[in-house]
Amino acid sequence: MSPLARKRLGKVALNATALLVFLFAVFPVYWMVSTAFKANDQIFTTEFIPFPTHFTFEHLHRVLTEGVAGNSIWVYMGNSAVVALGTVLIGAVFSLLAATAVARFRFKGRAGFLFLLLIAQMIPAEALLIPLFLQVKTLGLYDHLAGLILVNVGLTLPFGIWMLRTFVAAVPKSLEEAAWIDGASRFVTFWRVLFPLVAPGLVATSIFSFITAWNELIFALVLMSESTGYTMPVALQYFFGHKGTDWGAIMASSTMMTIPVVIFFMIVQRRMVTGLMAGAVKG
């Protein structure tokens, strides 16, 4: 076999593997969306029905009109949006400032701080449930979305600092020094020079923080006593009952829950490209 043929065969094998991985990852999402529009007789069957033969909006209409636990589904969607966006905004500010300090300054205990970040990421969130519950209650934030935002920021901050640290460290310090020579202050240098270059990393950490806060269940269930403060993952639990599981409503609600994540990703993906272009170093 010629080298050109081997190269083409390797490319075909690589593309086929990528296609299989893509189908494996997308199939659960497809099954969720298709089940949301299937009738109950097609959901509760032993036959494999990959595509609904008769589309029905019964489950979606029931979720939108009847709500969950006496509240409109939009109440839970709004709570999830407030928690997720609050986590992203607060976490982005603190993680960027902390990552800049760790990457740019040499201070006593720096290595220990980085080591603690790794340990914090390895600890299961469930192990922190009781101490975080007591802290939130002591601060008077129990049964408040602010308390839930604070907990999610704490859970996502170690990953954000560790990831952004590599982006900040990759920016040559000579660029900042050149801006200082030109008379720029530290804030102007940070905003006009450093920030555009680390913006793609900030977007990546924001995506992680948003998805983590949006899908979080345990803390949202424990730190909220009133159903009006529940988020979407908690609301989905009400469809699992003693008399059975309402899979149609679960899939319809899950499909609605997925749409904001896709929209957020599409928005920040544009910002990621903008950040890469704005942060390009011109010769």
Please report the pLDDT score of residue 268 as a whole number. 78
| Domain range list for the chain | 1-56, 73-278
Question: DSSP state, 63?
Answer: H
Do the Cβ atoms of 200 and 275 come closer than 8 Å? Answer: yes
Instruction: Indicate the pTM of the whole model.
Output: 0.84
pLDDT score recorded for residue 82: 95
The pLDDT tens digits for 151-205 are 999 999 998 998 888 888 888 888 888 888 888 888 888 888 888 888 888 888 8
The whole-angstrom separation of Cα 80 and Cα 74 is 10
Residue 110: CB atoms within 10 A of its CB come to: 13
- Whether domain 73-278 has CATH 1.10.3720.10: the reply is yes
3-class SS of residue 48: coil
Residue bearing tokens 């990457």: 103
pLDDT in tens, 191-243: 888 888 888 888 888 888 999 999 999 999 999 988 888 999 999 888 887 66
Query: pLDDT > 70: what percent of the chain?
Result: 94
CA 177, CA 207: separation in Å to the nearest integer? 31
* pLDDT tens sequence across 71-116: 889 999 999 999 999 999 999 999 999 999 888 888 888 888 888 8
- Would you say residue 278 has pLDDT above 80? no
